Structure 1
Amino acid sequence: MTDWLSPAEWDAVRLSLRVALWATLINLPIGIALAYALARGRFPGRGLLNVAVHLPLIMPPVVTGYLLLLGFGARGPIGGFFESSLGLSFAFRWTGAALAAGVMALPFMVRAVRLSIEAVDPKLEQAAATLGASRLWVFLTVTFPLIIPGILAGTVLTFAKGMGEFGATITFVSNIPGQTQTIPLAIDLLLETPGGEGRAARLAALSIALAALALALSEWLSRRVAARVGGQ
């Protein structure tokens, strides 16, 4: 099994899983909060927030990566703050790859959760509020259990996008073997290497298998949760 991929290619697989996992973990609370704000909130600037959240879907990924480099690079205002205060660097590091994957996947998380929230009857939340429950308690006890399938869908989409992100990643953190080289970046390098087509095909097949496994797991979990919620 170890001969199927080279050590450098296994490094790319492990790094892709690490990047996708961290992008998903970071996006979960942020995506749920943004989805709730867009689905239930009525505040000035809501339209602008909606545009900002979905911009990565319509902008070229290279542009997103360039903006990340400007903002989160060592000389950027946000990146400089994190580096000086927390010692956390993003540019040309795996942390930057996770950040790029998270930004590119955030619209998928927000969209999936927002649709689930909008499908919840507001009267259920209003009934709980009339009994004296706070907005946070209403969300945790009424809304959250009903939107778990949407959260699972958003989680899988985020993870899959994190595994497959290319344009923003290579622009922001470059293609450094063992440091920032994820599966898509490794495939790109192999396709430019004479005789590397076969190894690129093996990495592509592994990527497809991981994505299919994640989707199957999401479908199974969604069915289990929906059955449990429906039976209550």
Structure 2
Amino acid sequence: MDLLHLSNLIKTIDWESFLTPVWLSLKVSLIASIIVLLLGISAAWWMTNKRFFGKTFVETTFMLPLVLPPTVVGFILLMLLGRRSWIGQSLEWLYGRTVIFSWGAAVIAAVVVSFPLVYQTLKVGFSSVQQDYVDAARSSGASEWQVLRFITLPLSARSLMTAYLLGFARALGEFGATLMIAGNIPGKTQTIPTAIYVAAQSDHMGLAWLWTLGVVIISFILMLVVRKKGEEQH
């Protein structure tokens, strides 16, 4: 795309329609990244400090969304949250509507696919905390919550930041699972990746390029911060 074409496109674009998927993607990514960070902290703390039968199996399950095709993840979520499952029926009874094909479904998809990255980053960070500090706190009568809050989390601050940024970036780029369970409803569930897909399919390449450029810029900035944090750790 040349600069003249880009300039003409910017002048004729419907900015409300253009920005709607952007705001929805940012909202979904923000909520999903907070949820997955809390889940990741709990899971990483548990797996770092507990020994139990089947631990390898549990951890493998945690990491599965990282290697499974997104459409497979989306199909599993669709079966779990759809009206034919007791989970889906319970959620529909609780909220008065189905979760499928709502922006909440996009949040769920983003949480699931970004969890492995967040979990693994936090686990590495927690494992790097010197055990002497943890043992000293426990021998002084500190509870597990106090050890986590006052010892492990402060000493893993950089890993926490890195995990959050990775979770946000992964949620922002989620496509396959989101399309399966949230659909592509303009103004309701259409995120940037699904909007790019539709724009490319309908030969609106200018819009597709603008959305793509926005995602690339945001993702580049996030990854640049992650790299800087990683260099600071060393």
Aligned residues: 224
Give the Cα–Cα distance (whole angstroms) in 1 for the partners of residues 101 and 61 of structure 2. 25
2:143 is equivalent to residue 134 of structure 1: yes
Match of residue 63, structure 1, among 68, 72, 89: 72
CA contact (8 A) 1:5 1:199 kept: no
Q: Offset of 1:74 from its aligned partner? A: 2.8
Give the counterpart letter for 1:206 in structure 2: G
Q: Offset of 1:85 from its aligned partner? A: 2.0
Where 1:125 maps in the other structure, the secondary structure is helix
2:19 is equivalent to residue 10 of structure 1: yes
Consecutive unaligned residues of structure 1, counting only runs of 5 or more, are 227-232
* 1:54-105 Cα distance to aligned partner (Å, 9 max, x none): 1101111101000100111233221211120233632111000110011000
Where 1:178 maps in the other structure, the secondary structure is coil
Give the Cα–Cα distance (whole angstroms) in 1 for the partners of residues 95 and 215 of structure 2. 34
Partner of 1:229: none
* 1:98-157 Cα distance to aligned partner (Å, 9 max, x none): 100110000011011000011111121001111111121111111110111111111001
TM score, norm. by length of structure 2: 0.88
Question: Matches of residues 8-157 of structure 1 in structure 2 within 5 Å?
Answer: 8-87=17-96, 89-157=98-166
* Change in CA separation of 1:2 and 1:144 when aligned onto 2, cut-off 3 Å: farther
Give the Cα–Cα distance (whole angstroms) in 2 for the partners of residues 69 and 2 of structure 1. 40
Identity of aligned residues (%): 31
Match of residue 191, structure 1, among 195, 200, 214: 200
Partner of 1:202: 210
Where 1:19 maps in the other structure, the secondary structure is helix
* Change in CA separation of 1:2 and 1:211 when aligned onto 2, cut-off 3 Å: farther
Q: Offset of 1:6 from its aligned partner? A: 3.6
Consecutive unaligned residues of structure 2, counting only runs of 5 or more, are 1-9
Give the Cα–Cα distance (whole angstroms) in 2 for the partners of residues 117 and 88 of structure 1. 39
TM score, norm. by length of structure 1: 0.89
CA contact (8 A) 1:109 1:154 kept: yes
